[in-house]
Amino acid sequence: MKPLSHRFRILILPIVAVLSVLTTGCGRGKTSVTLAGSTAFQPFAEKLAERYMLIHPEIGVTVQGGGSAVGIQSALSGAADIGMADLVRLPAEAAELQPVTVARDGIVIVVHPSNPLSGLTMDQTRGLFCGKIRNWNELGGPDAAVTVVSREAGSGTRTSFEQIVGDIKLTGDAIIQDSNGTIRETVANDASAVGYLSHGLLSEKIKALQVDGADCTTEAIQAGRYPLVRPIFLLTRGAPTGASAAFIEYVRSPDAQKVIGESGLIPAIQ
């Protein structure tokens, strides 16, 4: 197994330690399943876990975030039973894991609601996040310096965003946030900000921009018109068994897939 890069290990080690405590600290007599990884999928996994535990009170499901790199390493090390990753392409170190696609997710470029722009081209998107476009007036907007907001290295959302847009070397003055939620709050409080986050976490606090003339909607994603789309994987070391297999089966069930669709993601099972 190839080791993860140093930057990933910095993120992973504290989360793995926490997960180890959670795994060993679950109450006796109750079967436990732990998930870790994607912060974009985390709130949806938590919602599904709550519904699952109502149906199966004998099972305890713990969901932790940390990012896709954490999900991959936690599944490899056994610190979590199931890893969560939201990557366009899984890295080489995930080759030992078995991926199951449970949803698809659009990545939305977001600005403050006061920003008059309605959309960007892919080239303009690249220019903003690389720092080549420094002022909104270069795009027909207000005379204001652009504040770039991005996820941290190791984030599945950032990795997928950069892979799809292509040729991005993130500007050195970008504000780095550790979750989709903190990106949303940062953009909501800065009239000059631009960021990106999961389609499922949009709110009235921020404004979603079109990309190449397409809105990030379920219809546009399913029709292939919206370009920034990535899969959501649940990962296990080898074929899932026992309680892990049962939970993954539930996430792919009609009931859970309906919840996923109603929550803003694209169901994997149509």
Examine residue 262 and state whether it is found in any structural domain, yes or no: yes
**Both 114 and 210 in a single domain?**
yes
Instruction: Give the count of domains, the chain.
Output: 2
Q: Please identify which residue in the block is written with the tokens 């698809």.
A: 104
The answer on pLDDT for 269 being more than 90 is no
**Both 116 and 99 in a single domain?**
no
**Both 235 and 193 in a single domain?**
no
**Both 53 and 63 in a single domain?**
yes
What are the tens digits of pLDDT across the range 14-48?
Answer: 444 444 434 434 445 689 999 999 999 999 999 99
Examine residue 84 and state whether it is found in any structural domain, yes or no: yes
**Both 112 and 214 in a single domain?**
yes
Structural domain including 27 reads 6-104+231-267
Rounded to two decimals, what is the model's pTM? 0.82
**Both 99 and 146 in a single domain?**
no
Mean pLDDT (the chain, rounded): 90
What are the tens digits of pLDDT across the range 65-83?
Answer: 999 999 999 999 999 999 9
Q: What is the pLDDT of residue 257?
A: 96
The enclosing domain of 151 has a CATH number of: 3.40.190.10
**Both 87 and 180 in a single domain?**
no
Taking phi over 0 as left and psi of -120 to 50 as alpha, with beta for the rest, 154 belongs to: left
What are the tens digits of pLDDT across the range 200-221?
Answer: 889 999 999 999 999 999 899 8
What are the tens digits of pLDDT across the range 147-188?
Answer: 999 999 989 999 999 999 999 999 999 999 999 899 999 999
**Both 137 and 87 in a single domain?**
no
Examine residue 62 and state whether it is found in any structural domain, yes or no: yes
Six-digit token pair at 28? 């006796």
Examine residue 1 and state whether it is found in any structural domain, yes or no: no
What are the tens digits of pLDDT across the range 235-250?
Answer: 999 999 999 999 999 9
Amino acid at 19: L
**Both 94 and 112 in a single domain?**
no
